[in-house]
Amino acid sequence: MTQHATPRLPAEWEPHERTIMSWPTARIWEEDARYVRKDIARLARVLGESEPVMLLASPDDAERAARACGPNVEVVPIPVDDLWARDTVPVCVDSAEGILGVDLNFNGWGGKQPHDHDAAVAERILDALSIPRTQARIVAEGGSLESDGAGTLLVTESSVVNPNRNPGRTRDELEAELRALLGVSRVVWFDGVVGADITDAHVDSLARFTAPGVVLLDVAAPGAPKDVWSRSAEQARGVLSRERDARGAAFDVVDLPQPDLTRIRANSDEFLASYVNFFVGNEVVLVPEFGDRRADRRARAILSEHFPSREVVAVRIDEIAAGGGGIHCATREVPSRSSVSGM
């Protein structure tokens, strides 16, 4: 494999060339496919108003997807299985040679579901975009990695140091690979939760950067009973209180509370009621709108404070959330190639 100059994993708030999404198939979603497709189309249309959106769709679904998403969304006939582009589309890093795509060897979150088409998405999309491909020597997903763009990476141990992805590999070995692949100098590990959801607890529903050193933390709604997720958040808070970032600075942790589950429109055993699973676009921040009006307003206000130059737009994604994911899970940004040389 060709050796490149030290890469850098940009922060999500840096300029995007485009954002990539995927069209869910009936094989995965069965009778719910038409409902979740409405959510994906709505999300793609909203984002497409302010930046280029490329939506991957199996050839048999491409025409239907194009009609649903409208003229601002480019539909590309690449076979997919599901909508979780964050995990299947490659992680793009920048270097002296330009943008490179890191293929993290998606394996259906540790073999929990068959995803033969999604396993090939990284290579196919990099070929379509003429971006050089680097194949990782580990298995991971984009949702398990959170970057501040300045050398710090947040990771949940449960989703990477796990025999369903990387059997026989130690955390130190995997951290060395992440440092080399992504050009980070500080990796902060949270315990996460093994087996409580299909992802083994991705970090992008737990803790997100809004700037170097500033982390929004997913916490339960006030008065909610403790569960594995609230205990995971408290463990992450403890780690962040002790750790330092790549600059040697302490973390500023800001709570982003979940909605009251008795006040939201929809719910299920897998429902992801996390505002932390937001997406930072070039001009907007997209955040879920769950139907708990007080919590929805609070989340928008917190995000507006942290991203004052962007419009915070609430998007209804009840079907996506019922499937265990969110807006961030359904999107994957490609950094702007024109801005790499100036970073």
**DSSP at 323:** T
When the pLDDT of each residue in the chain is averaged and rounded to a whole number, the result is: 95
What is the DSSP annotation of 177-241? Answer: HHHHHH--SEEEEE---SSSSTTS--GGGTEEEEETTEEEEEEPPTTPPP-HHHHHHHHHHHHHH
Q: At what angle do helices 62-69 and 33-48 cross, to 10 degrees?
A: 50
Is the pLDDT at 60 greater than 70, yes or no? yes
pLDDT tens, residue by residue, 102-127: 999 999 999 999 999 999 999 999 99
pLDDT tens, residue by residue, 208-237: 999 999 999 999 999 999 999 999 999 999
Q: What is the pLDDT of residue 268?
A: 84
The predicted model gives 73-94 an average pLDDT of 98
Q: What is the pLDDT of residue 339?
A: 54
Tokens of 313: 């737009």
Q: What is the pLDDT of residue 5?
A: 58
> Is residue 35 classed exposed, middle or buried when 0-12, 13-18 and 19+ CB atoms within 10 A define those classes?
middle
| Nearest-angstrom CA–CA distance, 72 and 254 | 35
CATH of 16-337, one of 3.20.20.70, 3.40.50.920, 3.30.450.70, 3.75.10.10: 3.75.10.10
Residue 341: pLDDT band with limits 50, 70, 90: very low
Q: Looking at 21, 44, 184, 329, which residue is catalytic?
A: 329
If you search the block for the tokens 């992440």, which residue do you land on? 178
Domain ranges across the chain: 16-337
User: Phi first, then psi: what are they for 84, rounded to 5°?
Assistant: -85, 70
**How far are the Cα atoms of 22, 48, 59, 125, 202 from residue 77, in angstroms, in the given order?**
10, 18, 5, 10, 28
Tokens of 283: 């001009």
Asked if residue 303 lies in contact with residue 289, where contact means CB atoms within 8 angstroms, the answer is no
Asked if residue 135 lies in contact with residue 80, where contact means CB atoms within 8 angstroms, the answer is no
For the question of whether the overall pTM of this predicted structure is more than 0.85, the answer is yes
- Is 329 considered catalytic here? yes
User: Phi first, then psi: what are they for 245, rounded to 5°?
Assistant: -85, -175
